Amino acid sequence: MKHTTVLIGNFGSGKSELAINMALSSVKSGKKTVVVDIDLINPYFRISERKSLLEENGIKLIYPRYAMTGVEATSIPPEVYSVFIDDHETVIFDAGGDPTGAIALGQYRANFAELSRLDVFYIINGRRPLSSEVDQNIALLDKIQSSARLSITGLVNNTNLAHETGIFDLLFGYDLISHISEQTDIPIAMTMGTAPILDELSKYIENGTLDQRYIGKLYPIKRYMHRDWDTFTHLGI
Amino acid sequence: MAKKLMKGCEAVAEAAIQAGCRYFFGYPITPQNDIPEYMSARLPKVGGCFLQAESEIAAINMVYGASGAGARVMTSSSSPGISLKMEGISYLAGAELPCVIVNMMRGGPGLGSIQASQGDYFQATKGGGHGDYHMIVLAPSSVQEAIDLMQDAFDLADIYRTPVMMLADGIIGQMMEPVEFKETTKKRELPEKTWAATGWKEGCGRDRAVINSLYIENEELQEMNDRLQARYATIQAEETRCELYNTEGAEIILCAYGTIARICKSAIALAAKEGVKVGLVRPITIWPFPTDAMRNAICQDSVTSAITVEVNAGQMFEDVRLAVDGKKKVDFLGRPGSFVPTAEEILDKIKQIRRA
């Protein structure tokens, strides 16, 4: 059965990072997978920049026309409609950041409504600016939700400082996301991070200091999107 | 304070607010849009004012107005937008008004591209606008340094009553790095803004404040220019900054600023592995240009030649050659447009020069 996941959240929250990881693990388990890059507002840092990685792994990528050409006004191809009815088993939508970025999703409201298996995940990186306080996150989440015309089904804790991430960053995110979940009644779907960080988190879980409700599934990721200094010099912006 | 994962644009905006900037006037252009975006969200929360003007020209003249009233004010743009602001910048310099202007450089000339570039070095350091004026120009090479220099930018503007430009490239603007906002430990003594037009009435005990760059009489214009030139001399003597990296006893000296200097450091590490000692002179202020430090590093006996590395057709290259004054050979590596050299390309150039 078709399983569709929509990833929304603030700029730099880790939507594309999660999308790539989900897509790669989906094809590994033998599922026909498509990724839809539906970001119309940011000319940089889109999942389509990893087009060859996705396609080499047998993942289909649909992306806005003129994306990655340096042109700033891109447009969504009609092909996007096909993912609602074709035989792809895993469909991942990677939206643009903030409420403006989520607007592009709104046009598919009727199509999303017909899906029997739909996850809408809201990704939070508590170490990003304007994302470290409960109220800021809830205000933003409400706006993104309404411009996407979708209800968020799960929160994702992706609190990190890129290569400098430590367990205390993820624990900061745990605390933050637990309050957000309490106030919004949205469950926590997953906590993502690199394997070593999640191993450390597991120790906290084992000794009972953390509440499983605020962790969800532990989702180990590899970093494909984030550009540290060295990759920047080779790949540009 | 805990570290944050920030883009250069966001970091610069937050650093400006923490440095006391309460007014931002600007107009959108890639790759610096994250600055106004951030300012629009944050400034109203700290009692400030964000305004998207109808054009870059309007924005820079709003900066003129706010600065004339004594406010800490900034604007930001990217190359073509900075060109539009140039008339206003000349007026700010002429009226001796402090402000901060951020330029996240993109490819040029004309509309160019939205990728990173260093094509605006001449514009930033040699004028750009009309008349005999200079701006202090700060060139950060990391997101953290952009934050750290922002407080300085506002202080320098106030101390010397001059526009200060932060000249970074699109990589700094867009790259996300873990950063820290440190408590400023040594705050500089700032002069009172007795010249600001803050409201005058009969018997208030001071002269009217007049913000102006028009001097019809030759003598008066001369006086203003003399005042500016004297100030520029002080700035050159007091505020020139640069980083010397691995320069002592080096065989080859690289000269670069901004993100390119950081790539040069990677090239220096690669060269060291092959037993070649390469050093770097990185101007932090590109105006005032660190002429003495540059000359001293390059004119050491151990140095055979210097290479200026830039993402342009050779702009700072001219200042390096002037500093060295023919005493050593200065080579150039770079391309106009947006091709950022890799560490490996810089290493290749080093090898090529050694062979020659």
Complex ipTM value: 0.90
Cβ-Cβ contacts under 8 Å, B31 against chain A:
43-44, 237
- Flag whether residue A139 sits within 8 Å of chain B, measured between CB atoms: no
Residue A33, pLDDT above cutoff 70: yes
How far does the CA of residue B230 sit from the closest CA of chain A (Å)? 41
Residues of B in contact with A130 (CB under 8 A): 38, 41-42
Task: With residue A38 as reference, give the H or E element that holds it.
Answer: strand A33-38
Mean pLDDT computed over B306-322: 97
Cβ contact, residue pair B5, A229, below 8 Å:
no
Every domain range in chain B assigned CATH 3.40.50.970: 4-179
The third-level CATH classification (topology) of the domain covering B4-179 is: Rossmann fold (3.40.50)
Strands B242-245 and B23-26: unpaired
CATH number of A3-235, picked from 3.80.10.10, 1.50.40.10, 3.40.50.620, 3.40.50.300: 3.40.50.300
Q: CA-CA distance, B263 to B8, in Å (whole number)?
A: 17
CATH 3.30.70.1230 fits B242-355, yes or no: no
Asked whether residue B291 carries a pLDDT value surpassing 60, the answer given is yes
Min Cα distance B138 → chain A (Å) is: 21
Query: Both ends of chain B: CA-CA distance in Å?
Result: 51
Contacts of B118 (CB under 8 A, 6+ apart): B105, B169, B257, B258, B260, B310, B311, B312, B315, B316, B334
Distance from C-alpha of B135 to C-alpha of B126, rounded to nearest angstrom: 9
Contact of A23 with A47, CB cutoff 8 Å: no
A43 vs B3: CB contact, 8 Å cut-off? no
| Interface contact A129-B116, CB threshold 8 A | no
Q: What percent of chain B has pLDDT over 70?
A: 99
Q: With a CB-CB cutoff of 8 Å, which residues 184-223 of chain A face chain B? A: none
Span A197-225, pLDDT tens digits: 999 999 999 998 899 999 999 999 999 98
Which of A45, A128, A229 lies at the smallest CB-CB distance from B5?
A128
Query: Is A229 close to B116, i.e. CB distance below 8 A?
Result: no
A229 contacts in chain B (CB < 8 Å): 175, 177, 262
For chain B, what's the residue count? Answer: 356
The single-letter DSSP state of residue A45 is S
The arithmetic mean of pLDDT across residues B135-143, rounded, is: 97
**Minimal Cβ distance to B262: which of A45, A125, A229:** A229
pLDDT tens sequence across B91-130: 999 999 999 999 999 999 999 998 889 999 999 999 899 9
Contacts of A230 in chain B (CB under 8 A): 266
In degrees and rounded to multiples of 5, residue A16 shows phi and psi of -70, -35
Note the maximum CA span of chain A: 52
The predicted structure's pLDDT at residue B127: 82
Which residues of chain A neighbour B262 with C-beta distances below 8 Å?
A: 229, 233
Residue A46 banded pLDDT, cuts 50, 70, 90: confident
Kindly calculate the radius of gyration of chain A based on its CA atoms and give it in whole angstroms: 17
The answer, yes or no, to whether residue B14 has pLDDT greater than 60, is: yes
Listed residue (A36, A38, A150) closest to A90, CA to CA: A36
The partner residue sitting opposite B115, judged by closest CB among A11, A12, A236, is A236
Interface contact A66, partner B, CB < 8 A: no
Label residue B300 exposed, middle or buried (CB < 10 Å: 0-12, 13-18, 19+). Answer: middle
Q: Supply φ then ψ for residue A225, to 5 degrees.
A: -85, -50
What residues of B are in contact with residue A132 (Cβ under 8 Å)? 2, 4
Closest-CA distance, B289 to chain A, in angstroms, reads: 26
Q: Which amino acid is at B252?
A: I
**CB-closest option in B30, B171, B178 to A232:** B171
pLDDT (mean) for A45-63:
93
- What pLDDT does residue B205 have? 87
Residue B27 in contact with residue B52, Cβ under 8 Å? Answer: yes
Is residue B197 helix, strand or coil? coil
Asked if B116 lies within 8 A of A160 by C-beta distance, the reply is: no
- Is A43 in Cβ contact with B30 (below 8 Å)? yes
Burial class (CB in 10 A: 0-12, 13-18, 19+), B330: buried
Token code pair at residue A214: 């605020």
The pLDDT of residue B218 is above 80:
yes
